[in-house]
Structure 1
Amino acid sequence: MRSLERLLRPNSIAVIGGGTWCENVIGECRKAGFNGALWPVHPSRDEIGGVRAFRSADELPSAPDAVFIGVNRNTTIEVVASLARLGAGGAICFASGFSEATRELADGADLQAALVDAAGEMPILGPNCYGFLNALDGATLWPDQHGLTPVESGVAIIAQSSNIALNLTMQTRGLPIAYLMTVGNQAQTGLSAIGDALLQDERVTAIGLYIEGLDDLAAFEAFSRRANALGKPVVALKIGRSEAAQAATLSHTASLAGSTAGSDALFKRLGIARVDSLPALLETLKLLHVAGPLESANIASMSCSGGEASLIADTAVGRNVTFPALTDNQRAALTNALGPKVALANPLDYHTYIWGDKAAMSRCYTAMMQGDLSLGLVILDIPRQDRCDPAAWLKVFDAVEIAQKASGRQMAILSSLPELMPEAIATGLIARGIVPLCGFEEALTAIEAAALFGRPLPTDPVHLPGPVNDPELLDESKAKALLAEHGLRIPKSRNAASSEEAARAAEEIGFPVVLKGTGIAHKTEAGAVALNLTSACDVQETAEKMPTATFLVEEMVTGTLAELLIGVVRDPAHGYVLTLAAGGTLTELLKDSVSLILPVGEEDIRTALATLKIGRVLTGYRGMPSCDMKAIVSVVLAIQALACSTPVEEVEINPLLCGRDFAIAADALVRLGGN
């Protein structure tokens, strides 16, 4: 792996090009207090940004550690080759017009390949890349204004959008950002390699990712495992839909696993918390920077308003956040601090009896934090300082700090709106070791995320999907035969080339039977499935009405207690996505599903099934008998074995008929290809 040490933490920076972008790089380095050498390079200018310029890279005093290349795309390749020969530490390729523009420029992909070839072993970021900001050391290879200030420690953010990255530098939430990285086209150095390099800096406390698409699944898994081993949490905001989920449209599985299911399952497997908005990303990183991962999502909330107590409680509904009931010790201590007039609960409305009394407030907060809690929230909105006097509000900070030290529990100040937590106050709270959180939704999202870390990761690596060429949809009888070879139980069946043959096949199997038209992916919607036919006449008449000329006749399975969908879809970006769901004709309507990344073990399957609403039916709902869980798990493991040993695009059983002593694949879809 190429070392990014010199590039990210340089002692010398060269800036090649003469436009405004290059002048900005020099100006921002000076503003940030970079104390290394600055070397502008331009063939005709004597100075750039007030700094003496060199005519070419060959005239530089030594090989630069980091280079910002701000010239056109063709010249960029020449410059990169020259820098590689000199032994430069790495370069930012600002120019666009490479693989991101292949629709507009026929030579875009070829130029990108030439750029990578020219770089050789020298690391490059981009092309089509804004660069990076190192607020720890003042190295700002960044062609624009930004909002970062020097920090001694902080979080690192890697973004696949330069404009999103620029916007994040302008946050006023008090979050200390140590590194802000953009990746551009990831032609040579991708998100995972950058993440690895940032993990090595002890001053980085957590890493945030803005992801449009993963660069390399194996490399990303390796980065995630290193982060977990180092105890540095990773939070991701993932956008977009995977190409695999868009392409695989034949099955219900593909519909359920589409959009974000694959990335969600992958992130969960790798111990990465996922959030869905930029504010949530920033608040989660802030909580992790100050408090680190939380042992649990058990929290306490305290405010002097019943409205705030009710609002935070309502906001927590449907989330994996818990307000534990008060213990006897808490109640006694709170009564002593607040008197008999306050109704005690969690969330707590402590009224205004103790407002402005630092000693009384600290006793209240300390008493509340005696329970099994990972975090205590004190809801406090700072009034506008240009129109109001916040002195009384600021006393709360002292009380919270006292309570945090006395209880040994992490505390946070939570504002209902970001503008009610001024940046200077947020920064001051962080200096005290108190978490400043902004917005109820974002704060609870951050707490959920922070409570995810610290769990051991699966020892088995993600099964990397190989290429599948020209996948072919097997007819149902062939699909079931393939599944039977892997140990699945299927109904007795016969193929029929006419309605008459179907009637005779039904008599051979024995009534009742199921009749299916073949050659159709979604048979029920097409009117190509008939259940519980009890005579040869019924079979023949039904077959003649179906929109197909060939048929599959099967035994009618009785004693079914539940129907499941078991499916696997190949997703090159995230691995093989396993979907477990309520099955049958209402699968997509119910949307009762869970997704995992292969490989999985028996316990993983049982745990996932238990999260489904239909999971209660599987284990016996309201006195009903339970299904054969061992047989169901065996089916899932068999499908996994098929997917991991064969060039599979997708496999689906829907429904898997589940009874007291069976799990039978009633319908199957398989798409196979050649490697």
Structure 2
Amino acid sequence: MTLDRLLSPKTIAIIGGGAWCVSVAEQARKMGFAGAIYAVHPKQKPLAGLPSYASIADLPEPPDACFIGVNRHATLNVVAELRAVGAGGAICFASGFSESDQEDGSGSDLQTQLVAAAGDMPILGPNCYGMINYLDRAVLWPDQHGGAGVDSGVAIVMQSSNMAINVTMQQRGLPIAAIVCAGNQAQTGMAEIGAHLLADPRVTALGLHIEGFNDIRAYESLAQDAARLGKPIVALKVGKSDQAKAATVSHTASVAGNDAGASALLKRLNMARVDSLPTFLETLKLLHFAGPLASTKIASISCSGGEASLAADTAFGTPVNFPPLSDSQKTNLRNALGPMVALANPLDYHTYIWRDTEAMATAWAAMMEPHLALTLLVVDFPRADRCSDADWDCAIDAAGLAKSRSGSVVAMVTTLPENLSETIAARLIAKGVVPMLGLREAVEAVAAAASFTAPASTPVLMPTPTAPAQTVNEADAKAALHGYGLRIPISAQAAAPSQAADLASAIGFPVVLKGEGIAHKSEAGAVVLNLASPQAVADAAQAMPTERFLVEEMVTGAVAELLVGVVKDPAHGFVLTLGAGGTLTELLGDTASLLIPSPRDQIETALGTLKISALLRGYRNGPAAHMPAILDAIEAVQNYVLANAQGLEEVEVNPLICTPTDAIAADALLRRQ
């Protein structure tokens, strides 16, 4: 199945007669679509001045792309007829399919029938607005849009039609090559659409607005295509606040959840995730004009100390940083600015040289050195409806000169998004300077543009069907994981306090006593540590709300405690969560998530992002944990999951006690069907 004819049509057919269909015809003409536009209506009503054919069979040729503007039931027949005549594809505008299941249970059945009717003819939707190809001036769009034809640009695929309309209205200087709505993705998914768009040499980057992943394998294929083509992908993935994620008996599920899986998947796919629509557009713009950035090391230049401080604070807590000035930067800046300016990065160059274009260009170029990925020139322009911006021409010209002399990546950024017009953006672009709207958005765009590495070469372990699960007792859970190499303490199970005391003597003191069959043992008072005598063991057992016990050797010499957990996420696969363990798990919220399988080096990198990693490395001259043993333990858990995925819902080791010589699972949980 190819999308060539549907997304780059030479002929268009519009089926239906309502206001939406009229708008499709009008927008196609307005864009200057050069091909034939056919209208189809059973009563042959003219459509926006076009004569109508009574049926699809009457059309003079099979149309390349069709907009179906009839109700959901009639859409099924229209799709079947288009397929029969050899049409190139169709946009199914009607709603009332799977997205309406909560109100109308027949929606999914109708969607299944729609896919069957389409066969190998590609369709977008249903519940889909359409597409705009600004490269070929081809439009099937039932509303106004704010874009214009371009020779190259970024492609955007969105699940939300209304958000797609809003994106076409952007005034940020972002050249959009194409925007496509995916709707319900009944047949053709966002990944397939994105792969087709990326293959066009005129498309420089791809933006995806994702509500949910419908086909992980298709996204993995898209990621490989993007890597082969050297074209970056930016994702605006919604769902961080989803309250529907299932609660389970473990800590792992509460700290992993669906969004952790989504983040881990996007990172694995080498897609830069952003959290807002403005940052989404600014990142795509930066990538279009500059490509992926080599690092997050940048410089900021402004004529105000307030702006310099704001730039520094905006980047605080992000991967973006302002490295100290090099000796050559200091020398060149001092020669350009004289002794009255305090040299730093971010730089406040004062206003001494304002209006002196040559002096501004010299000073700005002095800051631009090869070790920087980007230089931000902070300039807010006056509003054109009430003020004159003529006095700011020097900044535009100086930016262009500094760019040409240094060969660096240069962006002019405003502190307020509205303080740079589309007209000024065009002037900056003509000089090779990237116009960026909003300091916060610019910093976030830099972080995203510098985050690309390479997609994972190993496919994600796909989630298995979900069914009711049972919690395996701790001793059996540990034994199962021990079979894959996880180190566990010496232990024994007891059915009475007296037996627990006898087993403790055999193991050797001190010991740990745990009550079995209790979730969240610490909260229930079912864990007692450092018991040093048989009587202490018997007394502790007597006080617990259970009659079954686990007696274990007491692991000493802990440097840190870790959480190692795996939760099956039905949308993304098996999520491996690493974090601060023991009682700190929920208190600190210090976690990192990966998808299984993940290689050892990425697991080690993820551990290094944790706050608790300082303890693992040896905090304040304390002993360091044995990192090979920790990695062995995590890989043992991963190997168990890989070998036992069918029926597995969850695994948790918490805490994994990390010592200078070992890593031992003090507690373990398994939930299986």
User: Aligning the two structures, in what range does the TM-score lie when normalised by the shorter sequence?
Assistant: over 0.9
For residue 603 of structure 1, what is the amino acid of its counterpart?
Answer: D
> Counterpart of 1:334 in 2: which secondary structure?
helix
Conserved 8 A contact 1:362-1:399: yes
Gaps of 5+ in 2: none
Find the counterpart in structure 2 of residue 655 from structure 1: 655
Whether 1:187 aligns to 2:196 is: no
Once the two structures are superposed, residues 587-612 of structure 1 have per-residue CA deviations (whole angstroms, 9 ceiling, x without a partner) of 11111111112222222222222222
Conserved 8 A contact 1:241-1:258: no
Conserved 8 A contact 2:279-2:442: yes
> In structure 1, how many angstroms separate the alpha carbons of the residues matched to 2:107 and 2:228?
39
Find the counterpart in structure 2 of residue 133 from structure 1: 132
1:628 to 620, 626, 629: 626
> In structure 2, how many angstroms separate the alpha carbons of the residues matched to 1:606 and 1:225?
24
> Counterpart of 2:185 in 1: which secondary structure?
coil
Find the counterpart in structure 2 of residue 508 from structure 1: 506
1:578 to 553, 565, 576: 576
Whether 1:470 aligns to 2:468 is: yes
Conserved 8 A contact 2:223-2:455: no
> Counterpart of 2:273 in 1: which secondary structure?
strand
Instruction: Identify if the C-alpha distance between structure 1 residues 248 and 599 changes in structure 2 by more than 3 Å, giving closer, same or farther.
Output: farther
Find the counterpart in structure 1 of residue 546 from structure 2: 548
Conserved 8 A contact 1:245-1:257: no
> In structure 2, how many angstroms separate the alpha carbons of the residues matched to 1:216 and 1:427?
39
For residue 386 of structure 2, what is the amino acid of its counterpart?
Answer: R
Find the counterpart in structure 1 of residue 277 from structure 2: 278
The Cα of 1:471 is off from its aligned counterpart by: 2.8
Once the two structures are superposed, residues 494-519 of structure 1 have per-residue CA deviations (whole angstroms, 9 ceiling, x without a partner) of 22223333223223322222111111
Once the two structures are superposed, residues 434-462 of structure 1 have per-residue CA deviations (whole angstroms, 9 ceiling, x without a partner) of 10001111000001111122x23333222
Find the counterpart in structure 2 of residue 330 from structure 1: 329
> In structure 2, how many angstroms separate the alpha carbons of the residues matched to 1:664 and 1:36?
70
The Cα of 1:197 is off from its aligned counterpart by: 0.7
> In structure 2, how many angstroms separate the alpha carbons of the residues matched to 1:436 and 1:216?
36
> Counterpart of 1:540 in 2: which secondary structure?
helix
Q: Identify which range, 94-103 or 596-605, moves more after superposition.
A: 596-605
Find the counterpart in structure 1 of residue 664 from structure 2: 664
> Counterpart of 1:223 in 2: which secondary structure?
helix
Gaps of 5+ in 1: none
Conserved 8 A contact 2:274-2:280: yes
* Number of aligned positions between the proteins: 671
> In structure 2, how many angstroms separate the alpha carbons of the residues matched to 1:79 and 1:307?
62
Once the two structures are superposed, residues 373-427 of structure 1 have per-residue CA deviations (whole angstroms, 9 ceiling, x without a partner) of 1211111111111222211212211111111111110111111112110111112
> In structure 2, how many angstroms separate the alpha carbons of the residues matched to 1:243 and 1:390?
45
Q: Identify which range, 52-61 or 141-150, moves more after superposition.
A: 141-150
> Counterpart of 2:517 in 1: which secondary structure?
coil
> In structure 1, how many angstroms separate the alpha carbons of the residues matched to 2:383 and 2:497?
80
Conserved 8 A contact 1:173-1:418: no
> In structure 1, how many angstroms separate the alpha carbons of the residues matched to 2:366 and 2:626?
49
Instruction: Identify if the C-alpha distance between structure 1 residues 551 and 243 changes in structure 2 by more than 3 Å, giving closer, same or farther.
Output: farther
Find the counterpart in structure 2 of residue 292 from structure 1: 291
For residue 513 of structure 2, what is the amino acid of its counterpart?
Answer: L
Conserved 8 A contact 1:245-1:258: no
> Counterpart of 1:569 in 2: which secondary structure?
strand
The Cα of 1:580 is off from its aligned counterpart by: 1.1
> In structure 2, how many angstroms separate the alpha carbons of the residues matched to 1:534 and 1:183?
65
> Counterpart of 1:289 in 2: which secondary structure?
helix
Conserved 8 A contact 1:158-1:182: yes
Once the two structures are superposed, residues 205-253 of structure 1 have per-residue CA deviations (whole angstroms, 9 ceiling, x without a partner) of 1111111101200110110121122111111111115999822522211
> Counterpart of 2:245 in 1: which secondary structure?
helix
- List aligned pairs for 1:610-649, cutoff 5 A: 610-646=608-644, 647=646, 648-649=648-649
> In structure 2, how many angstroms separate the alpha carbons of the residues matched to 1:653 and 1:244?
25
Q: Identify which range, 126-135 or 601-610, moves more after superposition.
A: 601-610
Find the counterpart in structure 2 of residue 601 from structure 1: 599
- List aligned pairs for 1:203-602, cutoff 5 A: 203-240=202-239, 246-247=245-246, 249-370=248-369, 372-453=371-452, 455-602=453-600
For residue 667 of structure 1, what is the amino acid of its counterpart?
Answer: D
> In structure 1, how many angstroms separate the alpha carbons of the residues matched to 2:243 and 2:116?
29
For residue 345 of structure 1, what is the amino acid of its counterpart?
Answer: A
Conserved 8 A contact 2:403-2:432: no
Conserved 8 A contact 1:297-1:320: yes
Conserved 8 A contact 2:219-2:269: no
Q: Identify which range, 143-152 or 473-482, moves more after superposition.
A: 143-152
Find the counterpart in structure 1 of residue 141 from structure 2: 142
Once the two structures are superposed, residues 281-329 of structure 1 have per-residue CA deviations (whole angstroms, 9 ceiling, x without a partner) of 0111111111111111111111111111111011111111121222222
Conserved 8 A contact 1:369-1:376: yes
Find the counterpart in structure 2 of residue 154 from structure 1: 153
Once the two structures are superposed, residues 613-639 of structure 1 have per-residue CA deviations (whole angstroms, 9 ceiling, x without a partner) of 221211222222222211111111111
> In structure 2, how many angstroms separate the alpha carbons of the residues matched to 1:241 and 1:470?
26
The Cα of 1:26 is off from its aligned counterpart by: 0.5
Conserved 8 A contact 2:257-2:569: no
Conserved 8 A contact 2:565-2:577: yes
> In structure 1, how many angstroms separate the alpha carbons of the residues matched to 2:441 and 2:372?
19
> Counterpart of 1:622 in 2: which secondary structure?
helix
Conserved 8 A contact 2:361-2:402: yes
> In structure 1, how many angstroms separate the alpha carbons of the residues matched to 2:359 and 2:604?
50
Once the two structures are superposed, residues 154-192 of structure 1 have per-residue CA deviations (whole angstroms, 9 ceiling, x without a partner) of 111111111111111111112111111111111100111
- List aligned pairs for 1:97-136, cutoff 5 A: 97-136=96-135
For residue 621 of structure 1, what is the amino acid of its counterpart?
Answer: Y
Find the counterpart in structure 1 of residue 78 from structure 2: 79
**Structure 2 length normalisation: TM-score?**
0.97
The Cα of 1:468 is off from its aligned counterpart by: 4.4
> In structure 2, how many angstroms separate the alpha carbons of the residues matched to 1:99 and 1:119?
16
Q: Identify which range, 400-409 or 520-529, moves more after superposition.
A: 520-529
Runs of 4+ in structure 1 off by over 4 angstroms are: 241-245
The Cα of 1:45 is off from its aligned counterpart by: 3.2
Conserved 8 A contact 2:370-2:408: no
> In structure 2, how many angstroms separate the alpha carbons of the residues matched to 1:618 and 1:327?
33
Conserved 8 A contact 1:245-1:571: no
For residue 639 of structure 1, what is the amino acid of its counterpart?
Answer: V
Q: CA RMSD in A?
A: 1.6
> Counterpart of 1:156 in 2: which secondary structure?
strand
Q: Identify which range, 532-541 or 522-531, moves more after superposition.
A: 532-541
Conserved 8 A contact 2:354-2:394: no
For residue 159 of structure 2, what is the amino acid of its counterpart?
Answer: Q
> In structure 2, how many angstroms separate the alpha carbons of the residues matched to 1:330 and 1:85?
69
> In structure 1, how many angstroms separate the alpha carbons of the residues matched to 2:476 and 2:422?
65
> In structure 2, how many angstroms separate the alpha carbons of the residues matched to 1:466 and 1:279?
37
Instruction: Identify if the C-alpha distance between structure 1 residues 522 and 239 changes in structure 2 by more than 3 Å, giving closer, same or farther.
Output: same
For residue 665 of structure 1, what is the amino acid of its counterpart?
Answer: A
The Cα of 1:662 is off from its aligned counterpart by: 1.6
For residue 619 of structure 1, what is the amino acid of its counterpart?
Answer: R
Q: Identify which range, 626-635 or 274-283, moves more after superposition.
A: 626-635
For residue 114 of structure 2, what is the amino acid of its counterpart?
Answer: L
Whether 1:20 aligns to 2:19 is: yes
> Counterpart of 2:620 in 1: which secondary structure?
coil
Once the two structures are superposed, residues 258-288 of structure 1 have per-residue CA deviations (whole angstroms, 9 ceiling, x without a partner) of 2522121221222111110011101111111
The Cα of 1:477 is off from its aligned counterpart by: 1.1
Instruction: Identify if the C-alpha distance between structure 1 residues 386 and 244 changes in structure 2 by more than 3 Å, giving closer, same or farther.
Output: closer
> In structure 2, how many angstroms separate the alpha carbons of the residues matched to 1:117 and 1:380?
56
For residue 669 of structure 1, what is the amino acid of its counterpart?
Answer: L
